[in-house]
Structure 1
Amino acid sequence: MSGGSDASLRPLRTDLTPIVEAIETAEADAFVAVGDRFDDDLRYLTRFSGPDRAYALVVVPNGPTAGRDGKSDAAGRAVCCAPALFAEQAEREFVASARDRGGDRDGDSDRDGGDADFHDGVAREVRTEGVGDHAGERAAVAVDELLEEGDSSAEGDGRPTLLVPPSIPHDAAVYLERAGNELASTDAVTTARARKTDAELDRLRRAQRATAAGMAHAETVLAESEVGADDDGRPTVSWEGAPLTTERLRRAVNAVLADRGVRDAGNTVIGAGPSAADLHYVGDGPIRPGETVLLDISPRGPDGYYGDMTRTFVVDGDGGWERRAYVAVEAAREAALAEIEPGVPAKTVHGEAAAELAAYGFDPNAGEGETGFTHGTGHGVGVSLHESPSLSGAGELRPGHVITIEPGVYDPDVGGVRLEDLVVVTDDGCEIVAAYPFGTVPQARE
């Protein structure tokens, strides 16, 4: 079953206005980011998906190039210093896409992705000069040229101040500083990424639907499995005539993800019994009756956006520890969801989930390797699997935040139970992305 064509997705663009505003608020001269296609901040800012080698983005405010509707005094200028052989792709993905028609976010309102022209007033261009030089050197040259063209002059000692993401590579920072610039870290990109546009939500929904399909196949495999015994007489679970292991089930899930047009990205976590208490188990082990089977599926879909879902099943369970844990985690999930609305402190959501688990007798502040709740209730999801906001961190929830709700309890000697959904914060509450059924007893879903 196919996941559908990406042609149906709304155009994906990034509004660079928050970056321009951050420069002006900080009384800096420019913003610089350096990385490659594995740098999620840079990929988000440029929508440039190709290069496996370093490139740079430079943004300056109030450039002289024509902006919206051909008028002068654009809000800013943005230059992508593309690597060799990628100029045409950069022109298409970074420059042309920001001129095409299509809907996107407009401040705090009009999130329906209408037919209005998108342009953030930031004039974009691609430069290929100095392609043999380090990306940091090329960025420094672009900064000098853009500031000179804009007749901008640094205050104080004459050294321009550049805002950079905290993750800027050390060697790039050295080149920028050697060129006479002062660097200052900014969280502007993190903040901008946290609230998703309608086009981004399209991609997250596509990825999460594929995630649900992978979960349905895994649950069906478990439902169709048979209980028997291995050569040593230990109870075991078999499927299609062979022992079912975590690795075999993982491969079955990943095949469905691939058919749906998403990549597992090494993020299909499946644990059984004690390994279900390992939050990131990707090893191979037997699946046995009566033990928890925890499946955490997080594929990467269109334009790098992730899905994320966890369910826990038990084949031929006896209703012991795993049943009590499951009831507690279900209650914690409901308590967390009930708190989600704009303006609520993120920590409140985590606090309610933890309090519910404590009410069921589980330690809500357990350390790694201990019995109880050992992690936060959720995190942001976008072009990174873990991004802002964190439900254990500061700040308030806002419309457009996409977060996981994933309470869990674990006993390293017995197993683990976790339930996770992807949630969009809306104007009046929240929406679960690609809802999936609950229950410890696996059912055939295909």
Structure 2
Amino acid sequence: MDYGALDAELRDRNADGVVHVGDRFDDDLRYLTGFSGPDREYAFVYDGEGGEAILCAPQLFEEQAQREFSGTVVSAAEQEATTAGERAADLVSGTVLVPQSIPHDTALWLERAGCDLESTAVVERMRSRKTEAEIERIRTVQEAAQTGMARAETVLASTEVEGDPLIWEERVLTTERLRREANAAMALEGVNPVGNTVIGAGERCADLHFTGDIPIKRGETVLLDLSPRGPEGYYGDLSRTFVVDLEGGWERRAYVAVERAQEAAFDALSEGAGTLASTVHEETAAEISAYGFRPDGTPGFTHGTGHGVGMSLHEAPSLRSDTELEAGMVLTVEPGVYDPQEGGVRIEDLVVVREEGFENLTEYPRSLVPEVRSSGQ
């Protein structure tokens, strides 16, 4: 792990150390340490510019910490203090930079030890710009998501369409059955769906977080959003929309609008680093509007064009913000059109901003009518 950004922040703020306390669900802490457990608090301490990175490992997890963390691991047996905050306070002095989310008891321990606390967002800034190693981890997870999408699309393409609802392998095909097929395919690739597989059908496509179980019918939109997490903590994110036995109408018009909107976003991103994030969203929304759909209302395009992806599924930057995009930022590009009376259409790729242009980490084809896929393409 390169802590150069922490050094720069300490130097600029004339501070003496950085402390972060959390558990396995704290993505900032996972990012700083690479340590993947447990669900009890532990501490990361960076002591001085160019100094030592220390992990106060939880009891019984010292060996795991030694494997996963590249800095110094201090076991619970080496310190008299018991809580993570108290253990961190034993290792620092002077002005200490902490995140706004620092646990209250940790702040008290640091203050009792004579430390002056100042808030910092340096980790958020570090996370927003990925290294090439991080990009490769994300690429691998995105490939697994594509395998899951291929399985789901193949199931849809293999259904019987004589009546409603659709029949697959002699049983009614529901959103839950389709979700299980996609999740099983991704699990075989070594990633965890982590409950993030969203599959809607018909009017439920307008519910962006639908995880219920309903029959899938011919002629209606089926929206699949797959966001698995890899073993090193990084996410992928992929969405496609299909219609079995397409007859046209609203579904086709919405799909064309979304395709063109994504291409407009790609055109904006082709300028590469230095592009304003909001410009990408504005160009996308304008294209949606040109096809007669409301760019920021219901029905219509009801969310931003995209967001950062990394150790968290949703992280900085938002493409609705005035952030200047930097090389290494990994973003979703996911225009959509939704109507509770008709259904929903979204296409989502994952891209990385480069100094010149961008790279699409997604190789999955776009097709409104489902086809049998033998792999992730």
Q: Would you say 1:196 and 2:133 are equivalent positions? A: no
2:33 corresponds in structure 1 to: 46
- Which segment drifts farther, 193-202 or 262-271? 193-202
- Residues 356-367 of structure 1 correspond to what in structure 2 (within 5 A)? 356-366=287-297
Aligned counterpart in structure 1 of residue 149 of structure 2, from 215, 218, 224: 215
2:92 corresponds in structure 1 to: 143
Query: CA separation in 1, counterparts of 2:13 and 2:341?
Result: 52
Aligned counterpart in structure 1 of residue 210 of structure 2, from 253, 278, 281: 281
Query: CA separation in 1, counterparts of 2:2 and 2:195?
Result: 31
Query: CA separation in 1, counterparts of 2:339 and 2:111?
Result: 50
CA deviation map 1:285-314 (0-9, x unaligned): 110111100000000013011110000001
CA deviation map 1:308-327 (0-9, x unaligned): 00000011121111111101
Q: Would you say 1:423 and 2:357 are equivalent positions? A: no
Query: CA separation in 2, counterparts of 1:227 and 1:344?
Result: 46
Amino acid at match of 2:34: R
Contact 1:90-1:126 within 8 A present in 2 as well: no
Contact 1:84-1:131 within 8 A present in 2 as well: no
1:257 corresponds in structure 2 to: 186
2:46 corresponds in structure 1 to: 59
1:102 corresponds in structure 2 to: none
Q: Secondary structure at the match of 1:137?
A: helix
Contact 2:35-2:65 within 8 A present in 1 as well: yes
**1:143 Cα shift?**
1.1
1:331 corresponds in structure 2 to: 260
Rg comparison, structure with higher value: 1
Amino acid at match of 2:115: N
TM-score by structure 1 length? 0.80
Amino acid at match of 2:102: I
**1:171 Cα shift?**
2.9
1:91 corresponds in structure 2 to: 66
CA deviation map 1:350-371 (0-9, x unaligned): 11101111111111111xxx21
Query: CA separation in 2, counterparts of 1:205 and 1:18?
Result: 24
Query: CA separation in 2, counterparts of 1:175 and 1:380?
Result: 34
2:237 corresponds in structure 1 to: 308
Q: Would you say 1:82 and 2:57 are equivalent positions? A: yes
**1:132 Cα shift?**
6.1
Amino acid at match of 1:329: V
5+ residue gaps, structure 1: 1-13, 63-74, 99-123, 145-159, 230-234
Q: Secondary structure at the match of 1:202?
A: helix
1:68 corresponds in structure 2 to: none
Give the ranges of 4+ consecutive aligned residues of structure 1 lying more than 6 Å apart after TM superposition. none
- Residues 394-405 of structure 1 correspond to what in structure 2 (within 5 A)? 394-405=322-333
Aligned residues: 371
Q: Would you say 1:298 and 2:227 are equivalent positions? A: yes
TM-score by structure 2 length? 0.95
> Given the superposition, is the C-alpha separation of residues 257 and 132 from structure 1 closer, same or farther in structure 2, using an over 3 Å criterion?
farther
5+ residue gaps, structure 2: none
Aligned counterpart in structure 1 of residue 176 of structure 2, from 227, 247, 253: 247
Query: CA separation in 2, counterparts of 1:32 and 1:52?
Result: 18
1:24 corresponds in structure 2 to: 11
Q: Give the aligned CA root-mean-square deviation in angstroms.
A: 1.5
- Residues 358-437 of structure 1 correspond to what in structure 2 (within 5 A)? 358-366=289-297, 370-437=298-365
Query: CA separation in 2, counterparts of 1:132 and 1:315?
Result: 62
